[in-house]
């Protein structure tokens, strides 16, 4: 014969408590996983923003480099038949201050410019393009420099992730600094 007991066993009440603890642990693990996914998503948004800024600067610098290559200073080299190209008219220091203080007309008829006017027009157009498109960054330095006969276009900016800082705004000490350098290839 089979005996059926109607009293509850102590093991069953312990099992119910363990189930509650398991459910709480599972909810905690799930919440931790969701938070990790959210953090990864935020980081990917910041990475996309950084890549977009690098692309904007690279495209603008490439455009300036092409303008420089079309407007060099030419001189006769030391070997017969050699022509030396230099870009001294593009070395104006930091374009952030140069374009702010120079009376550069950006509405020129570019077909009637002198070489110096064309260089200033190209430099300030480059600076303006970078400044207008990097709306979430503060531009520190934009310049054309020369070292050992090699010219390069340099842009430096700082950006704070998740902040809508504009070029006229300020960036806190927790900001990231970025730079881009493009050597001018003859």
In DSSP notation, 45-76 reads: HHHHHHHHHHHHHHHHHHHHHHHHHHS-EEEE
Determine the pLDDT at residue 170: 44
| CB atoms closer than 10 angstroms to residue 144 | 26
Considering the domain boundaries, does residue 33 fall inside one?
A: no
Whole-number Å distance between alpha carbons of 133 and 148: 32
Question: Could you give the number of structural domains in the chain?
Answer: 1
Considering the domain boundaries, does residue 38 fall inside one?
A: no
Mean pLDDT by 10 residues, the chain (186 residues): 60 61 91 94 87 93 93 87 88 88 66 84 91 87 91 90 45 75 88
Determine the pLDDT at residue 23: 87
Q: For 77-137, where are the E strands, in sequence order? A: 83-86
Considering the domain boundaries, does residue 3 fall inside one?
A: no
Quickly tell me which residue has 């002198």 as its tokens: 114
| CB atoms closer than 10 angstroms to residue 40 | 10
Determine the pLDDT at residue 4: 66
Domain span holding position 169 = 53-183
Considering the domain boundaries, does residue 103 fall inside one?
A: yes
Please tell me whether the overall predicted TM-score, pTM, comes out greater than 0.75 for this model. no
Q: Which of 167, 165, 177 is nearest to 128 (CA)?
A: 167
Determine the pLDDT at residue 165: 41
């Amino acid at each position: 014969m089979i005996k059926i007991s109607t009293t509850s066993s102590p093991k069953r009440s312990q099992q119910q408590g363990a189930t509650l603890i398991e459910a709480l642990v599972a909810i905690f693990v799930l919440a931790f996983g969701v938070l990790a996914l959210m953090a990864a998503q935020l980081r990917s948004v910041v990475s996309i923003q950084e890549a977009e800024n690098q692309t904007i600067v690279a495209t603008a610098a490439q455009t300036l480099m092409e303008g420089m290559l079309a407007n060099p200073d030419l001189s006769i080299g030391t070997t017969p038949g050699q022509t030396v190209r230099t870009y001294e008219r593009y070395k104006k220091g930091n374009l952030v201050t140069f374009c702010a203080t120079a009376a550069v007309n950006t509405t020129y008829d570019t077909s009637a410019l002198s070489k110096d006017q064309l260089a200033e027009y190209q430099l300030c157009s480059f600076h303006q393009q970078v400044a207008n498109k990097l709306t979430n960054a503060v531009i520190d330095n934009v310049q054309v420099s020369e070292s050992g006969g090699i010219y390069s276009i340099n842009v430096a900016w700082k950006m704070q992730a998740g902040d809508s800082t504009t070029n006229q705004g300020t960036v806190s000490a927790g900001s990231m600094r970025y730079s881009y350098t493009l050597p001018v290839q003859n």
